[in-house]
Structure 1
Amino acid sequence: MSAAVEHIQDLGEYIAASPSSFHAAAEAARRLDAAGFTRLNESEAWEGGPGKHYVIRDGALIAWIVPANAAPHTGFRILGAHTDSPSFKLKPKPTTGRHGWLQAGVEVYGGPLLNSWLDRELALAGRLVTADGEERLVATGPMLRFPQLAIHLDRNVNEGLKLDKQQHMNPVWGTGDPGSADLLGVLARQAELDPEEIGGYDVVIADTQKPALFGSGDEFFAAGRLDNLSSVHAGLTALIGAAAGNPEQPGAIPVLAAFDHEEIGSESRSGASGPVLQDILGRISDGLGATAGDRTRALASSVCVSADTGHAVHPNYADRHDPLNQPVVGGGPLLKINANQRYATDAVGAALWARLCGDEQVPYQEFVSNNVMPCGSTIGPLTATRLGIRTVDVGIPLLSMHSAREMCGVEDPKRLAAVVERFFG
């Protein structure tokens, strides 16, 4: 079995264990624990100095390695990614329905391709919080479905499907009288809680189809949440790989910053626009005895690689892409560039990425948007703006981005992880 296939299978296992951002952080923590990292509590005092540590803040995780020779002014090498994906989130009073059907009241989260969620067996996943503050992760098996209207009842559907987010996106999960049913009760029993104990919840819908290889030579990989668990997994495996290497390695402090809420703008206590990364970096520097001047020096010498997925050229819609820059799946990770700083890459960052890829003998591809198509953005510009850290935007190319099930090339995730480990080391 090739290293790329081993990596993609492990990515599939990570995705399967991570139906929500909270599960993604918990599974990353499980892997870090196994690699000898220690979880820290933000509300407690930390011992400074060398070590391997991580913090979970809601659905975000920050992990880092302080080498034995780190100084107060030592800079950081940060891999930024995000744990959330477009989906649907349970509303208050989620048990609804009519005409003999039980349905779930959900709110659209981010920008999902609505039609891709139709006629799939779906799960609920996230966290339940009791009135006294205890958190329980929960994930069901297949129990919901957005059923599409039969073509016999909409003869023009193939001329353009239009879905109303409020009227049409209410999944069914059973039959009966909504007045005598309780969707939260189902989740509570799954988490071994009394429904009366639930004080709050953050629960989303997730696809239940297993990740899979496909293609004439198994060169493609399909899964939900490749955007952006592919980058979280790359950073996680790279950090664990760096931890297993030389702990005396001079140069910088490697950091994995897996934020939540990127798909809805990152403006939260666990998002990239929030203070979580700045808080952690400050406490790491404090533990090394840094002065204000030392911290400024450390940030000035730091670099962030913002890793998020990008668009491969679509063979049926090639006109939506730049005519000269047309990356393909399997062609290597992307260097994402935008003149209006929707991506944070500049010439210095581009040169660094080229050098890192060259060192690992990894091909990479440049991505830039067609001038008449709006360009998305990432945590890259947010991190650069908030902390003043030089940032370069990268990621693996996908087709079907924001679908319930996206696809990439088998080789690209391993390539990304290899370059990130070189960056960390």
Structure 2
Amino acid sequence: MSKKKDIELEHKPKSAWEVYSSKKHVAAMDKLADRYIDFLSRCKTERLVMDYVRERAEAAGFSEDFAKSAVVRIQRGKAGFMARRGKRPLSEGFRLIGAHADCPRLDLKQNPLYEDTEICLAKTHYYGGIRKYQWLTSQLALHGVVVKKDGEVVRVAVGDDPADPVLTITDLLPHLAYKEVEKKVSAAFEAEKLNIVLGQSPLLGKKDDDGKGKVKDHILKLLNDRYGITESDFFSAELQIVPAGPARYVGLDSSLIGGYGHDDRSSVFCALEALLAEDKPEYTQIALFWDKEEIGSDGATGAKSLFFEYTLEDLIEAWEPDTKLSRVMLNGTALSADVAGAVDPDFKDVSEERNSAYLGYGPCFNKFTGHRGKVGANDAHPEFIGWLRRILDDAGIPWQMSELGKVDAGGGGTVAKFLAVYGMDIIDVGAPVLSMHSPFELTTKADMYATTLAFREFFKN
């Protein structure tokens, strides 16, 4: 009589560090982490992310010609689509991973420059959910584009080259901040005071009515000398203030990666790595990268736009012209790749520990997002989750499942619901992150490695 296999009745999460402890995996993990740090350090804006995507795609043979079997399309420099034809026809569906390339930041206002107390500053409007105090007295960089009236596009980058100066925002000294410390955080840090210090030296040889040289004139001259722009060119500019400096390894064991933009450029990176690695798929593979997720996914490059739908129509016309778009969509399977909030040891009170993400335990699935009563959630179907459990467990990939904090503690949204409207199966998944939406977020090498392997498994199954 055959002996019955023992069944593990209790669920025990697996540490990604233990699963990938062999020399082979450690070496691969370290190489991936090095590439990721380079990516995160280079790609401070969504435009720079799309430049990176295009560069990697074209090097791998992807083409803008949709008659080819591997295609790429970039929308307005801020959203991207990549697809590789599978062995099965497109009408039988696809495997899609979607992520967003935008991150919380400070945007320069349309008319930003002014001078006060002989300091030239720039006005900002914050983008996405930030904690304003985290951006004060830190080293900042300026990135973006200025478009002149003749259509010339000028790239601007100040603060990340080691030869460049950095920018900053001042804060009140503690000796004079007695009233400030008694205020609520929401009142103590005003958005209109997130003003960027641009310089303090006047333009020599040019005097104002009071006999002083103007600092603003000096800054405008420096900008004109370096970029050929004038103050009116700011009206047609897209300029972002972001943390200066590269991403870095963190911890005495270099186990963590610290930097700006894990949310959600880590998912863009893992999806791209997975797509380029799995080059002989059964089903068509699609990687989709959006902008504007942090402010509601609106606009021509956000997930609410019809960019994906229009591009998929072009793909169907090129690959399988007699197929309905609705049939392809209904047979599609997708991952909404977005990071998860990890349990912070200093703020455990906002987490429900049995249903939370932890660093070092692999990618985290969120069956639903939304807030208080699952409002705004996709809420993935259990049949799809069961299939994902099987393929990841069969491949020996560690994973975990969570929700974002205690039920009444807050919440958040993702792009999942914007793809779910087409009838496809979709769930949120991504690496766990600490200090999310801050200028210096944290994730781990092990989680980045496990997430990339999970995405590869999804693409090839």
Q: Partner of 2:314: helix, strand, or coil? A: helix
Q: Partner of 2:412: helix, strand, or coil? A: coil
Q: Partner of 2:193: helix, strand, or coil? A: coil
Are the counterparts in 1 of residues 104 and 127 from structure 2 also a CA contact under 8 Å? Answer: yes
**TM-aligned CA deviation for residue 201 of structure 1:** 1.2
Rate the CA distance shift 1:333–1:158 in 2: closer, same or farther, 3 A.
farther
Partner of 1:255: 286
1:311-365: CA deviation from partner (whole Å, max 9, x where unpaired): 1112122121124213211111111123445244221232233223223322111
Structure 2 unmatched ranges of 5 or more: 1-25, 160-164, 203-213, 369-373
> Are residue 19 (structure 1) and residue 19 (structure 2) matched?
no
In structure 2, C-alpha distance between the alignment counterparts of 1:305 and 1:254, rounded to whole Å: 12
> Are residue 297 (structure 1) and residue 327 (structure 2) matched?
yes
Rate the CA distance shift 1:186–1:275 in 2: closer, same or farther, 3 A.
farther
In structure 1, C-alpha distance between the alignment counterparts of 2:44 and 2:300, rounded to whole Å: 21
- Map of 1:181-330 to 2, 5 A cutoff? 181-182=218-219, 186=222, 189-190=225-226, 192-195=227-230, 198=233, 200-243=236-279, 246=280, 249-250=281-282, 252-291=283-322, 293=324, 295-330=325-360
Rate the CA distance shift 1:266–1:317 in 2: closer, same or farther, 3 A.
same
Partner of 2:169: 146
Structure 1 letter corresponding to 2:168: R
Structure 2 letter corresponding to 1:203: L
In structure 2, C-alpha distance between the alignment counterparts of 1:165 and 1:306, rounded to whole Å: 34
Partner of 1:63: 82
Structure 1 letter corresponding to 2:178: R
Partner of 1:43: none
Structure 2 letter corresponding to 1:153: L
Rate the CA distance shift 1:408–1:291 in 2: closer, same or farther, 3 A.
same
In structure 2, C-alpha distance between the alignment counterparts of 1:304 and 1:132, rounded to whole Å: 42
In structure 1, C-alpha distance between the alignment counterparts of 2:337 and 2:406, rounded to whole Å: 21
Structure 1 unmatched ranges of 5 or more: 41-45
Are the counterparts in 1 of residues 110 and 237 from structure 2 also a CA contact under 8 Å? Answer: no
Structure 2 letter corresponding to 1:152: H
**TM-aligned CA deviation for residue 273 of structure 1:** 0.6
Q: Partner of 1:282: helix, strand, or coil? A: helix
| Structure with max Cα Rg | 2
In structure 1, C-alpha distance between the alignment counterparts of 2:381 and 2:375, rounded to whole Å: 11
Q: Partner of 2:344: helix, strand, or coil? A: coil
Rate the CA distance shift 1:163–1:340 in 2: closer, same or farther, 3 A.
same
Aligned length: 409
Partner of 1:51: 70
In structure 2, C-alpha distance between the alignment counterparts of 1:118 and 1:24, rounded to whole Å: 25
Q: TM-score, normalised by structure 2?
A: 0.83
Structure 2 letter corresponding to 1:308: D
- Partner of residue 148 from structure 2, selected from 118, 130, 146: 130
- Partner of residue 196 from structure 2, selected from 166, 171, 177: 171
1:234-285: CA deviation from partner (whole Å, max 9, x where unpaired): 0111111123xx3xx33x2111111000000001110001111111111111
Structure 2 letter corresponding to 1:155: Y
Partner of 1:413: 448
What is the root-mean-square deviation in Å for CA atoms of aligned residues?
2.2
Q: Percent identity?
A: 24
- Partner of residue 180 from structure 1, selected from 192, 211, 217: 217
Are the counterparts in 2 of residues 163 and 169 from structure 1 also a CA contact under 8 Å? Answer: no
- Partner of residue 353 from structure 1, selected from 379, 388, 391: 388
Are the counterparts in 2 of residues 140 and 187 from structure 1 also a CA contact under 8 Å? Answer: no
Q: Partner of 2:278: helix, strand, or coil? A: helix
In structure 2, C-alpha distance between the alignment counterparts of 1:166 and 1:375, rounded to whole Å: 23
Rate the CA distance shift 1:110–1:72 in 2: closer, same or farther, 3 A.
closer
**TM-aligned CA deviation for residue 94 of structure 1:** 1.4
Q: Partner of 2:299: helix, strand, or coil? A: coil
In structure 2, C-alpha distance between the alignment counterparts of 1:108 and 1:365, rounded to whole Å: 33
Rate the CA distance shift 1:366–1:156 in 2: closer, same or farther, 3 A.
farther
Bigger mean CA offset, 298-307 vs 198-207 = 198-207
1:25-77: CA deviation from partner (whole Å, max 9, x where unpaired): 11121122222222x2xxxxx5535234333433111111124x453514221
Q: Partner of 2:116: helix, strand, or coil? A: coil
